Chains A and B, each alone.
Chain A
Amino acid sequence: MSKKKLNYTEALTELEGIIEQIESGDLTVDELSEKVKTAADLVKVCQDKLRKTEDEINKTLEGLE
């Protein structure tokens, strides 16, 4: 997920989507923990983006790949 270039609005929309999915009760408990992890990652990515310069982020992303 971190490899994809995600903009803030997309991140927030995805977060909202996860909330909706969980609220609808369609998810299994197994999926639940995975979704929460994704959501936490999204928040982290956004916060990182806010606080780091583009260069730093690119370096970080290269490190992931």
Chain B
Amino acid sequence: MEHLSLFQLNKLIQKTLDGHLDASYWVIAEIGELRVNQNGHCYLELVEKENNNIIAKSRATIWANNYRNLSLWFEKMTGQSLQQGLKILCNLNVQFHELYGLSYNIRDIDANFTLGERARKRQEVILKLQEDGVFDLNKSLEAPRVMKKIAVISSPSAAGYEDFLNQLDSNRYGYKFDVTLFKSIMQGNTAPESMINALLAIHNSNSEFDGVVIIRGGGSQIDLDCFDDYELAAHCCQFPLPILSGIGHERDESVLDMIAFRSLKTPTAVAEWIINVNMDFEIELTQKFEQLSKIVLQSLKFEQQRVNQIVSKIKSSGKVVQVNENYRLNTLKSNLKTALKHQLSSLDSELTLKAKIIDHLNPQNILKRGYTMTSKNGKPIGSQKLSIGDIIVTTTNKMTINSKIAEINE
């Protein structure tokens, strides 16, 4: 029977492949695994997935001399390192080695594809959040009037956290803050879950926080993909407290930045924003109080005017009364005078009349007219019993005559 040795078969395969394949291909694949050995060679497993099932898998290598430059350049371009889970467009040639089998030698990677891929993925996340109806939820929370109790999600050792605390502590207005740190991993594949756990811890804590600050900062600009994570973004969107992001990257905004209540460039900027919130509140407070003082002064002035008006009314009405009373009094007085005069004069004439009558009745005046008056013992004789021989006195105008009664004729 005709036969080949294994070596011969492998050589045949190699020859066939070499004869039928192009020198290189541009291939889209996902990095399933990646490791770099001590010599600096990079060994990868490339996969293709369909509905999360792997439908193709191949070994690939990037040799050390190429990998050094390629990985640095890729990081610089995309802001992230070559790593598991990344979809890449790479230029490779197919190699079949009689001893090591089939392997792809990656010679170049198109960073723009990965950038586009990331943008596409991010767009997908944004769309999904919008479809869920949660995209604007955190943004539309009521703005905090004051931020005092603050929950921070950060790595405790991050320079950004330090900056944040310093900025808060050194505020010019003397505001004091209660900051509680919720530790989290802030980069890599486990970061989203770690941050979500921190959010849950904040939610379950008994403290009533005024807001949540998510900061990163300092350190490298790579590995920011975690802030585009759908689950993390969805949790943040629906979180009941305003989320302030200070992730501090120079490239495009992350999804977290887009959905956060406020997105600021750096942790320091977040602290500054918080201080301004409090300052705005205090200004408003002071203005309101000044407004109040003004109104109160106005009210008092108004009351004063009212009092003054009343006083002057009282004064003027008093005067009128006075004048009226005076007039009445004077009239009464003059009436009284007239009445008195009248009365006096009538009395006077009556008196004169009476005096005349009296004058007429005066016995002297009768005597003057030639009549005489006769009396006995000082009393008129008319009412006395007379006897012959009685002495009677006759009084005339000029003299008195004593006579003895000689005869009485009745």
Task: Please encode chain A, from 35 to 59, with 1 for each CB lying within 8 Å of some chain B CB and 0 for all others.
Answer: 0100110010011011111100000
CB distance from A53 to the nearest CB of B (A): 5
B72 contacts partner chain A, Cβ-Cβ < 8 Å? no
A12 lies within 8 A of B285 (CB): yes
> Complex: how many Å from CA A46 to CA B176?
12
Q: Does B396 make an interface contact (CB < 8 A)?
A: no
Interface residues in chain B, defined as those with a beta carbon under 8 Å from any beta carbon in chain A: 145-146, 148-149, 173-176, 178, 278, 281-282, 284-286, 288-289, 291-293, 295-296, 299-300, 302-303
For the complex formed, measure the closest distance between the CB of A5 and the CB atoms of chain B, giving whole angstroms.
Answer: 11
Known: A29-B300, A43-B285. 11 other contacts (CB 8 A): A8-B146, A8-B281, A12-B145, A22-B295, A29-B299, A32-B299, A40-B289, A43-B289, A47-B285, A50-B173, A50-B281
| Interface pair B178/A36, CB less than 8 Å apart | no
- B299 and A25 contact, CB distance less than 8 A: yes
What's the dominant secondary structure at chain B's contact region? helix
Assess the B289–A39 pair: CB atoms within 8 A: yes
From A25, A51, A54, B174 is in contact (CB under 8 Å) with: A51
A22 touching B176, Cβ below 8 Å: no
Complex: A43 Cα to B300 Cα, angstroms: 22
- The answer to whether A22 touches B299, judged by C-beta atoms less than 8 angstroms apart, is yes
Residues in chain B near residue A47, CB distance under 8 A: 282, 285
Q: Which residue of B lies closest to A33 (CB)?
A: B296
When each residue 6-45 of chain A gets 1 if its CB lies under 8 Å from chain B and 0 otherwise, what string results? 0011011001101100110101010010001001100100
Contact call B299/A43, Cβ cutoff below 8 A: no
Q: CB-nearest residue of chain B relative to A25?
A: B299
Leading 8 A-B pairs by shortest Cβ distance: A8-B146, A8-B145, A15-B288, A51-B174, A22-B295, A53-B176, A43-B289, A50-B175
Q: Nearest residue in B to A55 (C-beta to C-beta)?
A: B178
